[in-house]
Amino acid sequence: MTVAPHDIPFVLLATTGERLGWIYADRDHAPQPFGEPGPEPTPVSPGLQEFLRRAVRSKARWRRSSIRIGIALGFACFGYGIWRIHLDGGFNPLFGTLAKISFCGGLGGAILTTIGPWLIRRAITVTEAGHAARHRAAVAQWEARRDDHEEQQRIAAGGRHEWVAAAPSPGHRRVDIIGGTMFGWEAVVTVYGASLLATRGAMTLVDFTGDGVCAELMRLATATERSVRRLHLPADLAEFDLLAGLSPGELVDCLVEAMHGDGRGGRADRSEDWLLLTEICEVLGERPSLARLLAALRTLTDRRSQDVLSSDEIERLLDQHPDENRRQLYPQLRRIEAFLHPLAAMGSAAQAVEPASLTCLITGSDGGDAQNDLLRDLILHWLTRLVRRRLRPMGSLVVLGADEVDHRAIEKLSTLCERNGVRLVLFFAHLRAEALHTIGGGEVALMRLGNHHEASQAADYIGKGHKFVLSQLTRTLGGSDTHTLSDTSGQSSTDGGSGTMSFGNRRTRGRAYGKTWNLTRNWSQTVATARGQNWSDASSVQRTYEYTVEPRALQDLPEYAMVHVRSEGRETTIQAVEVDPAIVMLPHVSMYPRPDAAVRTKQQVTEGAHSAEPSRGPWGGRS
């Protein structure tokens, strides 16, 4: 349903879909991460690296070998040339050239062994540069895709709702709202009542508190062009007949149950009152009323009323109960009259009116306790009859201040409502007496419970759960320091010599002599220092069984907050709900529940109980 603009912003609450309030869902909570991993740099081929390592290892060996071979060949050529000089008497230049070539060949071999690893390193450098360029390009493309994903996430977060509706389970189960203040109740009645009106149609609201918490809902119904009828009882009792349309037998049953609704007086008194009223109604015929019934009681106590009863009815009453019988029944007659006398004006000025979309019955404090108790019981019987007979269209029934209503009447009314497709909503100020007998028959929403005993019982109802908590913490600190110094020295000496002399002809003779001497000395000092430090931090947890929601959290709930215990099949979900009607005027508010709406756990409920900023969390104060 689309609501036209109006000077009262709260008309936006009259949108189809049942909602108890709203759940705060952080739009930026748990964004979809960018799942693509970043590109990794491509390594150089392991075969090329291994080839470089082998070339480096063999470079020194081949260089030494090349130099040695070149020097050896050069000296060999040079020596051979000297020997030929002695033999031939002249030096052949060829041998000098060969010696030079040998020396240059050794030097060239050494140079060639160095060029090989350089070329390999050059190839590796070029390959790494190509890989690095390709990696930079891949990283740039990956960052562009990541930025695009994050931008899409920001756009999606901007389109998500920050407040989503908290709806009860579908169907017609009863909803019990326990605890809270009158201001909190007014907020729930306004928010939930407006959604019930828009979704289920006609509503009947009964307020036993007398505080008029439905005033804002009536304003909203009027603003959305729905008919509203308000009756303040007992002030408007003459305009409203709770007993209209009852047969004599139904009237007697209703009055007896109302008079003995608290269970006091015993079964005998109940039976005697039923028999006496049945006999009186037999005389009054098929059109009994409360005024005629009171006139009959006064007649039996010698206070005849000619203007209400006919002469024939008076004579029949007196014949039915002779003088002696009336004297014995006098206390009973006066007791019944005392019960019914405050309601004597009921329906005296009643007129036929069309059923309203919103009917509000408010029982005030201007009547006595006895009158209010009897009126409350009669209203409950009227509601039961209204639901059972479907006398008027009714989609929802709201009862404020159900603490004093007998739990048997609540269970009977709840069964009839569920069977006939009527959503029953009960408000209990305290979790005691009748509320304890009826809790669990439907969904439960817990508001602030100031009494610790009531808060503990509510926490017991929510239940307990297993969790792991820190039970022990162990820390260990240790260290070691080792210092070692050692000196080593040594010396060695080698001395030797050799000589050769030979004589031949005039051209062949020689002499050689050699001597070697070697001195070696070594000295070393070794210093070793070792330091070690270790730190260990160990913790252990143990399994505990504790409250899902602590009683203190229920005691500290803000005025416009509730903990909704929602049943989903065999599972129970706990939702932290904000019921402030002003939320509807905030941006990013949804009037419908979201399947993936965040559900608050015990920690969220506890933290929310101490929140002070309405725009930053679910426990906002009412503006």
Angstrom CA distances, 27 to 19, 32, 334, 599, stand at 20, 12, 68, 14
Least confident of 332-336, 486-490, 503-507, 552-556: 503-507
Cα(368)–Cα(605) distance, integer angstroms: 42
Residue in the block written with tokens 């931090």:
537
Higher model confidence: residue 399 or residue 25? 399
Q: What is the dihedral of CA 70, 73, 78, 83, to 10 degrees?
A: 170
Q: Are 429 and 453 in contact (CB under 8 A)?
A: no
Confidence of residue 466 (pLDDT cuts 50, 70, 90): very low
Return the CATH architecture of domain 1-24+161-232+355-465+543-623.
3-Layer(aba) Sandwich (3.40)
For residue 17, is pLDDT > 60?
A: yes
Identify which has the larger pLDDT, 72 or 394.
394
Burial class from Cβ neighbours inside 10 Å (0-12, 13-18, 19+) for residue 29 reads: exposed
pLDDT in tens, 434-456: 778 888 778 899 999 988 898 88
Q: Do residues 459 and 547 touch, judged by C-beta distance below 8 A?
A: yes
The band of 97, judged by pLDDT with boundaries at 50, 70 and 90, is low
Give the angle subtended at the CA of 125 by the CAs of 121 and 128, to the nearest 5°.
135
Residues forming a β-bridge with 538? 474
Residue 482 has pLDDT above 90, yes or no: no
234 or 207, greater pLDDT: 207
pLDDT tens, position by position, 132-176: 888 888 888 988 888 888 888 777 767 778 889 999 988 888 999
- Whether residue 599 has pLDDT greater than 50: no
511 DSSP β-pair partners: 501
541-546: list long-range contacts, CB under 8 Å, 24+ apart: 541/468, 541/469, 541/470, 541/471, 542/468, 542/469, 542/471, 543/466, 543/467, 543/468, 544/466, 544/467, 544/468, 544/469, 545/464, 545/465, 545/466, 546/464, 546/465, 546/467
Going by pLDDT thresholds of 50, 70 and 90, the confidence category of residue 287 is confident
474 vs 192, higher pLDDT: 192
Amino acid code (one letter) for 35: G
206-234 exposure pattern, b = at least 16 Cβ within 10 A, e = fewer: bbbbbbbbbebbbebbebbebebbbebbb
- The structural domains of the chain, with segments of one domain joined by +, span 1-24+161-232+355-465+543-623, 46-159, 243-345
pLDDT the model gives residue 183: 93
What is the dihedral angle through the alpha carbons of 286, 347, 371, 180, rounded to the nearest 10 degrees?
A: 120
| Higher-pLDDT residue of 297, 160 | 297
CA distances in angstroms from 246 to 240, 255, 271, 310, 384, listed in the order given: 14, 11, 20, 21, 13
Most confident listed range (174-188, 472-486, 598-612): 174-188
| Alpha carbon of residue 330 to chain centroid | 65
The mean of the pLDDT values for the chain is: 76
Residue whose C-alpha is closest to residue 574's, from 619, 611, 604:
604
- Interatomic CA distance for residues 547 and 444, integer angstroms: 17
Per-residue pLDDT reduced to its tens digit, 59-96: 666 666 666 666 666 666 666 666 666 666 555 566 56
**What share of the chain has pLDDT > 90, as a percent?**
18
Nearest CA to 304 out of 318, 324, 290, 287 is that of 318
Report the pLDDT averaged over residues 249-259: 85
Has residue 357 got a pLDDT over 70?
yes
Token reading at 346 = 């009921």
Give residue 292's pLDDT. Answer: 85
Helix (H, G, I), strand (E, B), or coil: what is residue 8? coil
Q: Which residue has the higher pLDDT, 508 or 17?
A: 17
Strands 423-428 and 443-446: unpaired
Per-residue pLDDT at 611 exceeds 50: no
pLDDT at 114: 65
Instruction: Report the percent of the chain where pLDDT is more than 70.
Output: 65
Q: Which of 401-415, 493-507, 512-526 has the highest mean pLDDT?
A: 401-415
Position 615 scores a pLDDT of 37
According to the per-residue pLDDT averaged within each range, which of 34-38, 332-336, 398-402, 522-526 is highest?
398-402
CA distance 619 to 504: 125
Q: Which of the two residues, 261 and 298, has the higher pLDDT score?
A: 298
What sections of 240-368 are H helices per DSSP? 248-259, 266-284, 290-300, 311-320, 323-340
CB neighbourhood size of 78 (10 A): 17
Integer Cα distance of 608 and 576 in angstroms: 8
Alpha-carbon distance of 91 to 253, in angstroms, equals 156
- Tell me the C-alpha to C-alpha distance, in Å, between residue 5 and each of 162, 227, 291: 23, 19, 49
pLDDT at 247 over 80: yes
What is the rounded CA–CA span in Å between residue 603 and residue 611? 13
Quick one: pLDDT at residue 6?
Answer: 46
Choose the most confident range, by mean pLDDT, from 141-145, 286-290, 351-355, 507-511: 141-145
Residue 368 pLDDT > 90, yes or no? Answer: no
Structure token digits, residue 565: 């215990």
Residue 501: pLDDT over 60: no
Lowest model confidence (mean pLDDT) among 2-11, 177-186, 581-590: 2-11
Quote the pLDDT of residue 195.
Answer: 95
- Tokens (6 digits) for 374: 């009897």
Identify the pLDDT of residue 618: 42
For residue 421, give Cα distances in angstroms to 227, 417, 484. 22, 6, 92
Query: pLDDT grade, residue 503 (50/70/90)?
Result: very low
